[in-house]
Amino acid sequence: MTDIPNVEKVASAGVTFELASTSSAGDDLVGKTAIVTGSSSGIGLECARQLLARGLSKLILAVRDEKKGAIARDDLASGWDLKPGAIEVWHLDYSSYDSITSFADRAKVLETLDIVVLNAGIYRIPRVILPTGHEEDIQVNYLSTALLTILLLPILDVKKHPGTKPGRLTVVSSSVAAWSRFKLPQDGRPLLATLDEAIRDRGLRPPSAILYLETPWTAVLG
Protein backbone atom coordinates (compact mmCIF):
# COMPACT_ATOMS: atom_id res chain seq x y z
CA MET A 1 0.00 0.00 0.00
CA THR A 2 1.35 3.43 -0.93
CA ASP A 3 2.43 5.52 2.01
CA ILE A 4 0.28 8.58 2.60
CA PRO A 5 1.61 11.40 4.77
CA ASN A 6 -0.15 12.40 7.98
CA VAL A 7 -2.18 9.21 8.34
CA GLU A 8 -2.15 6.43 10.85
CA LYS A 9 -2.43 2.83 9.62
CA VAL A 10 -4.44 0.38 11.69
CA ALA A 11 -4.64 -3.35 11.01
CA SER A 12 -7.81 -5.13 12.11
CA ALA A 13 -9.14 -8.58 11.15
CA GLY A 14 -6.70 -8.79 8.27
CA VAL A 15 -7.74 -5.43 6.81
CA THR A 16 -5.56 -2.33 6.86
CA PHE A 17 -7.30 0.98 7.43
CA GLU A 18 -5.78 4.39 6.85
CA LEU A 19 -7.01 7.14 9.13
CA ALA A 20 -7.09 10.48 7.36
CA SER A 21 -5.48 13.53 8.88
CA THR A 22 -7.81 15.81 10.84
CA SER A 23 -6.08 18.87 9.43
CA SER A 24 -8.57 21.44 8.15
CA ALA A 25 -6.19 22.86 5.55
CA GLY A 26 -8.05 23.22 2.26
CA ASP A 27 -11.34 22.13 3.81
CA ASP A 28 -13.21 25.45 3.78
CA LEU A 29 -16.92 24.59 3.88
CA VAL A 30 -18.29 28.13 4.02
CA GLY A 31 -21.51 28.37 2.02
CA LYS A 32 -21.95 24.60 1.84
CA THR A 33 -24.70 22.31 3.15
CA ALA A 34 -24.34 18.87 4.72
CA ILE A 35 -26.65 16.08 5.85
CA VAL A 36 -25.49 13.74 8.62
CA THR A 37 -27.70 10.80 9.57
CA GLY A 38 -27.66 9.25 13.02
CA SER A 39 -26.32 12.56 14.29
CA SER A 40 -27.91 12.91 17.72
CA SER A 41 -24.95 11.21 19.40
CA GLY A 42 -21.71 9.32 18.85
CA ILE A 43 -19.81 9.42 15.58
CA GLY A 44 -22.58 11.29 13.79
CA LEU A 45 -22.64 14.09 16.35
CA GLU A 46 -18.86 14.45 16.31
CA CYS A 47 -18.86 14.43 12.51
CA ALA A 48 -21.39 17.27 12.56
CA ARG A 49 -19.19 19.17 14.98
CA GLN A 50 -16.12 18.74 12.76
CA LEU A 51 -18.02 19.99 9.72
CA LEU A 52 -19.08 23.11 11.59
CA ALA A 53 -15.48 23.64 12.67
CA ARG A 54 -14.57 23.83 8.99
CA GLY A 55 -17.05 26.62 8.38
CA LEU A 56 -20.10 24.65 7.19
CA SER A 57 -22.97 27.07 6.63
CA LYS A 58 -25.97 24.72 6.88
CA LEU A 59 -26.26 21.41 8.69
CA ILE A 60 -29.14 18.93 8.56
CA LEU A 61 -29.25 16.55 11.53
CA ALA A 62 -31.19 13.52 10.27
CA VAL A 63 -32.43 11.61 13.31
CA ARG A 64 -35.09 9.12 14.35
CA ASP A 65 -35.70 10.79 17.73
CA GLU A 66 -36.34 14.49 17.13
CA LYS A 67 -36.12 15.35 20.84
CA LYS A 68 -32.59 13.97 20.98
CA GLY A 69 -31.89 15.74 17.72
CA ALA A 70 -32.98 19.06 19.22
CA ILE A 71 -30.64 18.52 22.17
CA ALA A 72 -27.79 17.79 19.75
CA ARG A 73 -28.66 20.90 17.73
CA ASP A 74 -28.57 23.12 20.81
CA ASP A 75 -25.28 21.56 21.92
CA LEU A 76 -23.70 22.20 18.52
CA ALA A 77 -25.10 25.72 18.22
CA SER A 78 -23.66 26.73 21.58
CA GLY A 79 -20.13 26.29 20.29
CA TRP A 80 -20.34 28.42 17.15
CA ASP A 81 -21.47 31.83 15.98
CA LEU A 82 -24.09 30.59 13.52
CA LYS A 83 -26.84 32.27 11.56
CA PRO A 84 -30.45 31.50 12.63
CA GLY A 85 -31.59 28.22 11.08
CA ALA A 86 -28.04 27.08 10.30
CA ILE A 87 -28.74 23.75 12.01
CA GLU A 88 -32.01 21.94 11.30
CA VAL A 89 -33.37 18.69 12.73
CA TRP A 90 -35.14 16.44 10.21
CA HIS A 91 -36.92 13.21 11.08
CA LEU A 92 -35.56 10.06 9.40
CA ASP A 93 -36.49 6.50 10.35
CA TYR A 94 -34.44 3.83 8.55
CA SER A 95 -37.02 1.17 9.45
CA SER A 96 -39.58 2.85 7.16
CA TYR A 97 -39.27 3.18 3.38
CA ASP A 98 -41.90 5.94 3.48
CA SER A 99 -39.74 7.92 5.90
CA ILE A 100 -36.72 7.54 3.62
CA THR A 101 -38.53 8.64 0.47
CA SER A 102 -40.14 11.58 2.30
CA PHE A 103 -36.73 12.64 3.59
CA ALA A 104 -35.23 12.51 0.09
CA ASP A 105 -38.14 14.55 -1.30
CA ARG A 106 -37.54 17.14 1.39
CA ALA A 107 -33.85 17.30 0.48
CA LYS A 108 -34.81 18.31 -3.05
CA VAL A 109 -35.91 21.73 -1.81
CA LEU A 110 -32.53 22.56 -0.27
CA GLU A 111 -30.79 25.44 -2.00
CA THR A 112 -27.55 23.46 -2.12
CA LEU A 113 -26.36 20.03 -0.98
CA ASP A 114 -22.65 19.30 -0.93
CA ILE A 115 -22.00 16.60 1.68
CA VAL A 116 -23.97 13.56 2.86
CA VAL A 117 -22.70 11.31 5.65
CA LEU A 118 -24.83 8.17 6.09
CA ASN A 119 -23.85 7.21 9.60
CA ALA A 120 -27.09 5.79 11.05
CA GLY A 121 -26.91 2.13 12.00
CA ILE A 122 -27.83 -0.34 14.73
CA TYR A 123 -26.54 -3.46 16.45
CA ARG A 124 -29.65 -5.28 17.61
CA ILE A 125 -29.35 -8.26 19.93
CA PRO A 126 -32.99 -9.51 19.84
CA ARG A 127 -34.09 -10.72 16.41
CA VAL A 128 -36.65 -8.15 15.24
CA ILE A 129 -38.75 -8.40 12.07
CA LEU A 130 -39.98 -5.04 10.80
CA PRO A 131 -43.25 -4.38 8.90
CA THR A 132 -41.15 -4.44 5.71
CA GLY A 133 -40.66 -8.17 6.34
CA HIS A 134 -36.92 -7.82 6.86
CA GLU A 135 -34.82 -8.17 9.97
CA GLU A 136 -34.01 -4.85 11.60
CA ASP A 137 -30.21 -4.95 11.28
CA ILE A 138 -30.37 -5.83 7.59
CA GLN A 139 -33.13 -3.29 6.96
CA VAL A 140 -31.38 -0.41 8.68
CA ASN A 141 -27.73 -1.13 7.99
CA TYR A 142 -28.05 -2.22 4.38
CA LEU A 143 -31.39 -1.97 2.59
CA SER A 144 -32.39 1.47 3.84
CA THR A 145 -28.85 2.80 3.54
CA ALA A 146 -28.72 1.62 -0.07
CA LEU A 147 -32.12 3.18 -0.87
CA LEU A 148 -31.19 6.51 0.69
CA THR A 149 -27.92 6.49 -1.26
CA ILE A 150 -29.75 5.93 -4.54
CA LEU A 151 -32.23 8.73 -3.79
CA LEU A 152 -29.70 11.31 -2.60
CA LEU A 153 -26.97 10.90 -5.23
CA PRO A 154 -28.95 12.66 -8.00
CA ILE A 155 -29.77 15.49 -5.58
CA LEU A 156 -26.09 15.89 -4.74
CA ASP A 157 -25.36 16.11 -8.44
CA VAL A 158 -27.78 18.94 -9.18
CA LYS A 159 -27.60 20.80 -5.86
CA LYS A 160 -23.85 21.19 -5.53
CA HIS A 161 -22.49 24.56 -4.41
CA PRO A 162 -21.95 26.77 -7.50
CA GLY A 163 -18.44 26.63 -8.89
CA THR A 164 -17.42 23.52 -6.97
CA LYS A 165 -16.93 19.84 -7.72
CA PRO A 166 -19.90 17.45 -7.33
CA GLY A 167 -20.85 16.70 -3.76
CA ARG A 168 -19.66 13.69 -1.82
CA LEU A 169 -21.65 10.91 -0.15
CA THR A 170 -19.94 8.82 2.52
CA VAL A 171 -21.27 5.64 4.14
CA VAL A 172 -19.88 4.93 7.60
CA SER A 173 -18.94 1.27 7.99
CA SER A 174 -17.09 -0.95 10.44
CA SER A 175 -14.25 -3.45 10.63
CA VAL A 176 -16.90 -6.19 10.99
CA ALA A 177 -17.06 -6.05 7.18
CA ALA A 178 -14.02 -8.34 7.26
CA TRP A 179 -15.95 -11.02 9.17
CA SER A 180 -18.49 -11.89 6.46
CA ARG A 181 -18.43 -15.59 5.50
CA PHE A 182 -21.87 -16.27 3.99
CA LYS A 183 -21.75 -18.03 0.60
CA LEU A 184 -23.88 -16.53 -2.15
CA PRO A 185 -26.63 -18.82 -3.52
CA GLN A 186 -25.79 -20.29 -6.92
CA ASP A 187 -29.32 -21.27 -7.98
CA GLY A 188 -30.91 -17.85 -8.37
CA ARG A 189 -32.81 -17.92 -5.08
CA PRO A 190 -33.33 -14.57 -3.31
CA LEU A 191 -30.48 -13.84 -0.94
CA LEU A 192 -32.65 -12.92 2.06
CA ALA A 193 -34.66 -16.15 1.81
CA THR A 194 -31.48 -18.18 1.38
CA LEU A 195 -30.02 -16.63 4.49
CA ASP A 196 -33.06 -17.63 6.56
CA GLU A 197 -32.90 -21.19 5.19
CA ALA A 198 -29.23 -21.52 6.10
CA ILE A 199 -29.92 -20.41 9.63
CA ARG A 200 -32.90 -22.78 10.04
CA ASP A 201 -30.86 -25.72 8.70
CA ARG A 202 -28.36 -25.13 11.49
CA GLY A 203 -31.16 -25.15 14.06
CA LEU A 204 -30.34 -21.61 15.14
CA ARG A 205 -32.35 -18.52 15.84
CA PRO A 206 -29.59 -15.96 16.21
CA PRO A 207 -29.95 -12.25 16.84
CA SER A 208 -30.27 -9.95 13.85
CA ALA A 209 -26.73 -8.70 14.39
CA ILE A 210 -25.30 -12.18 13.76
CA LEU A 211 -27.39 -12.63 10.61
CA TYR A 212 -26.12 -9.31 9.30
CA LEU A 213 -22.50 -10.26 9.97
CA GLU A 214 -22.92 -13.54 8.08
CA THR A 215 -23.90 -11.84 4.84
CA PRO A 216 -21.62 -10.35 2.19
CA TRP A 217 -23.43 -7.01 2.52
CA THR A 218 -21.09 -5.90 5.28
CA ALA A 219 -18.18 -6.43 2.93
CA VAL A 220 -19.89 -4.71 0.01
CA LEU A 221 -20.90 -1.68 2.06
CA GLY A 222 -17.56 -1.60 3.83
Could you please state the CATH topology (level 3) that the domain comprising 8-20+28-176 is classified under.
Rossmann fold (3.40.50)
What stretches of the chain adopt beta strand conformation (E)?
8-12, 15-19, 33-37, 58-63, 87-91, 115-118, 168-171
pLDDT value of residue 178: 67
pLDDT value of residue 153: 95
pLDDT value of residue 127: 76
> Alpha-carbon distance 150 to 127, whole Å?
27
Q: pLDDT tens digits, residue range 102-132?
A: 999 999 999 999 999 999 988 777 778 888 8
Provide the whole-model pTM: 0.76
pLDDT value of residue 126: 75
Residue 97 and residue 132 in contact, taking contact as beta carbons nearer than 8 Å: yes
pLDDT value of residue 219: 46
> Alpha-carbon distance 18 to 219, whole Å?
17
> Alpha-carbon distance 82 to 115, whole Å?
18
pLDDT value of residue 222: 42
- Low-confidence residues of the chain, pLDDT below 50? 1-13, 22-23, 198, 201-210, 212-213, 216-222
Q: Show me where the domains of the chain are located.
A: 8-20+28-176
